[in-house]
Amino acid sequence: MPKKDTALKIIPLGGLDGIGKNMTAFEYGGDMVLVDAGLMFPDEGQPGIDLILPDYTYVLENEEKLRGIIITHGHEDHTGALPFLLQDLTRKVPIYSSKLTLGIIEGKLAEHNIRSPKFREVSDGSTITLGAFTITFFSMTHSIPAAFGVFMSTPAGTVMHTGDFKFDQTPIDGRRPNFQAINKFGASGVDLLLSDSTNATRPGFTPSEAAVGRDLRHVIKNAPGRVFVAAFSSHIHRLQQICDASVAVGRKVVVTGRSMLTNTKVARELGYLSIDEENIIDAYDVDRIPDDKIVVLCTGSQGEPLSALARMANGEHKSLSIHESDTVIISATPIPGNEKSVQSIVNSLSKIGCEIFDKSKGLVHVSGHASQEELKLMLAMAKPRYFMPVHGEAQHLRAHAELGVQMGVPAERVFVLDNGDSLEMVRHKVRRGRAVESGVVYVDGGTVTEANPMVLRDRQKLGADGVVSCTVVVSKRSGSVSAVEVFGRGVSSSTDELLGGEAQKLVRAQVEKLAKSDGSSIEALRRGVRNTLSNLLWNKTHTRPMIIPVVMEV
């Protein structure tokens, strides 16, 4: 039995250094509960990387304590690390979430050949016991249906985790946030509040999702040709509004993009997305329908290079293409780091000459996250004794911390942490604890690997200036050079010209000079080749390609 002074540990392993990789461990004595297991997508500075995951070494080291995994909602920044975590665990651990979220997760796990996971469906008001933890789920509104916050009760005290949320009073599915539960928990005592910080720098209230429907319908109704709408495939409420607007103005809906096809199928099967079969057509049947009777629902709102929108914009989609008479709606805001990718697609679409609508041209997107006044309202209802902002970049966490102080939480009781830091709660009092191993791991070519800055630097160098390979054959006895071959890949034309003449002469001279001196090793000869070529290329072309020297003694 844990002692009275046993600490509840709150350990964020991800989610405090950007939008993504959300994962927090809660540990009391011999029991641990994990809330969310998300991923982050790479940016341009991480070439070749497929996905970024939180380093969950701490969870694996304490696997025997892990009683369950709670997933607050179905977005990939909260679910995407699950397949990798489950493969690394040595036993099946129960996963608790809504019917929709579990349906989305099931598809992801199947892609990784993970069969028969221990799913446990919960709903608004469900209460479960996991070791020393008593956990109650309460409904929140977000940009995906069936999102939850959680309230945890332990012998050390209580914690409320909001999950991702906004206070939408007119949600598409009619399921409002459970204000009654939040007020009830606040009245009974919330020792520590963990709250979504994504929009903590944005004043006011976040508009309702319903507001988007009016603008979407107007654009779809008045478009002269086909309408292509790019949205998050998990944004089921947005997809419902697009379908409703399309049907209302007499247009058929085409769905394209792997994740869009998967998520719309799951949402329809589970009753979260409603559209009659007669109003959906296959992409291959588009040609038999007039252009002004078609809406194409597609992936690509974040500029993903292999998404349906990107392939259509570049004329590479197998069954659909975009024409000058068409209209494209980008119904999303770029995630930080994706701005250039989105702009690249917009430029490709602009060359086609089609009409493009994004947030700057109308209310075709609203955020799924609470703005400042909603965050204040959450603080007012929960009345936390201690406060920890989560889910955001440093600026968001700091801004949210300031809101907490404004709402009456003493500054010394507001904690802005980094991933791997921890808090400890003993007898309802919270203090900073010891840090644990944390960081990121990469999914590179389908394999999970530790973050290696040198590998990324090499890839950036290859992408920027190319590679030069130099092979030298030198006599072990005389030190004379019998052959020098220098060639480049991905180098500039001026560099290519140097490699055929001047570079070979300089390398030959340098190697013979070094080889005929006493005690020159193969490594010294390689270093001489690298330095000679590096200096030549920088002086002549101001480029620094990767140089691979090969020296063979005969």
Gap between the Cα atoms of 553 and 541, Å rounded: 31
Tokens of 249: 């103005």
In angstroms, the Cα distances linking 460 to 130, 303, 381, 504 are 46, 20, 49, 26
* Most distant CA pair in the chain, distance: 90
* 542 marked as binding residue: no
Instruction: Give the CA-trace dihedral at 236, 239, 244, 249, to 10 degrees.
Output: 180
The answer to whether the annotation marks 161 as part of a ligand binding site is no
Written as six digits, the tokens of 288 are 């038999």
- Residue 494, annotated ligand binder? no
Q: Rounded distance, CA 213 to CA 384, Å?
A: 36
Is 271 labeled as ligand-binding? no
- Confirm if 61 and 141 have CB atoms less than 8 A apart: no
Q: Is 367 annotated as a binding residue?
A: yes
Compute the C-alpha angle 70/95/131, nearest 5°. 70
Q: Is 234 a known ligand-binding residue?
A: yes
CA-nearest of 4, 1, 3, 7 to 429 is: 7
CA gap 310, 220 in Å, rounded? 21
Using CA atoms, how far apart are residues 7 and 12, in angstroms rounded to an integer?
Answer: 16
Cβ within 8 Å of residue 373, ≥6 positions away:
203, 204, 205
Task: Report the 10 Å Cβ neighbour count for 478.
Answer: 11
77 is in an annotated binding site: yes
The yes-or-no answer on residue 317 being catalytic is: no
482 is annotated as contributing to ligand binding: no
Closest C-alpha to 486, from 542, 537, 553 = 537
The two three-digit tokens of residue 423, written as one number: 């808090």
Degrees (nearest 5) of the Cα angle 191, 30, 448? 95
Active site residue 276: no
- Residue 73 among known ligand-binding residues: yes
Tell whether residue 164 is among the known ligand binding residues. yes
Please give the helix or strand (H or E) that residue 425 lies within, else none: strand 423-426
Contact status, residue 161 vs residue 384, Cβ threshold 8 Å: no
317 is in an annotated binding site: no
DSSP letter assigned to residue 414: B
Query: Which are the contacts of 257, defined by CB distance < 8 A and separation ≥ 6?
Result: 233, 298, 299, 300, 307, 308, 309
d(C-alpha 229, C-alpha 220), whole Å: 9
Rounded CA gap, 190 and 183, in Å? 10
The single-letter code of the amino acid at 346 is V
d(CA 320, CA 313): 10
Catalytic residue among 196, 326, 358, 465: 196
The active-site residue, picked from 161, 317, 369, 396, is 369
Q: Is 344 annotated as a binding residue?
A: no
Instruction: Retrieve residue 275's tokens.
Output: 């559209």
Q: Is 237 annotated as a binding residue?
A: no
SS (H, E, C) 19-64: CCCCEEEEEECCEEEEECCCCECCCCCCCCCCEEEECCHHHHHCHH
Tell me if 144 sits within 8 A of 235, measured CB to CB. yes
391 is in an annotated binding site: yes
Binding residues for Zn(2+) are: 73, 75, 77-78, 142, 164, 391
Binding residues are: 48, 50, 73, 75, 77-78, 142, 164, 233-235, 365-369, 391, 444
Binding residues for Ca(2+) are: 48, 50, 444
Binding residues for substrate are: 233-235, 365-369
Query: What are the catalytic residues?
Result: 196, 369
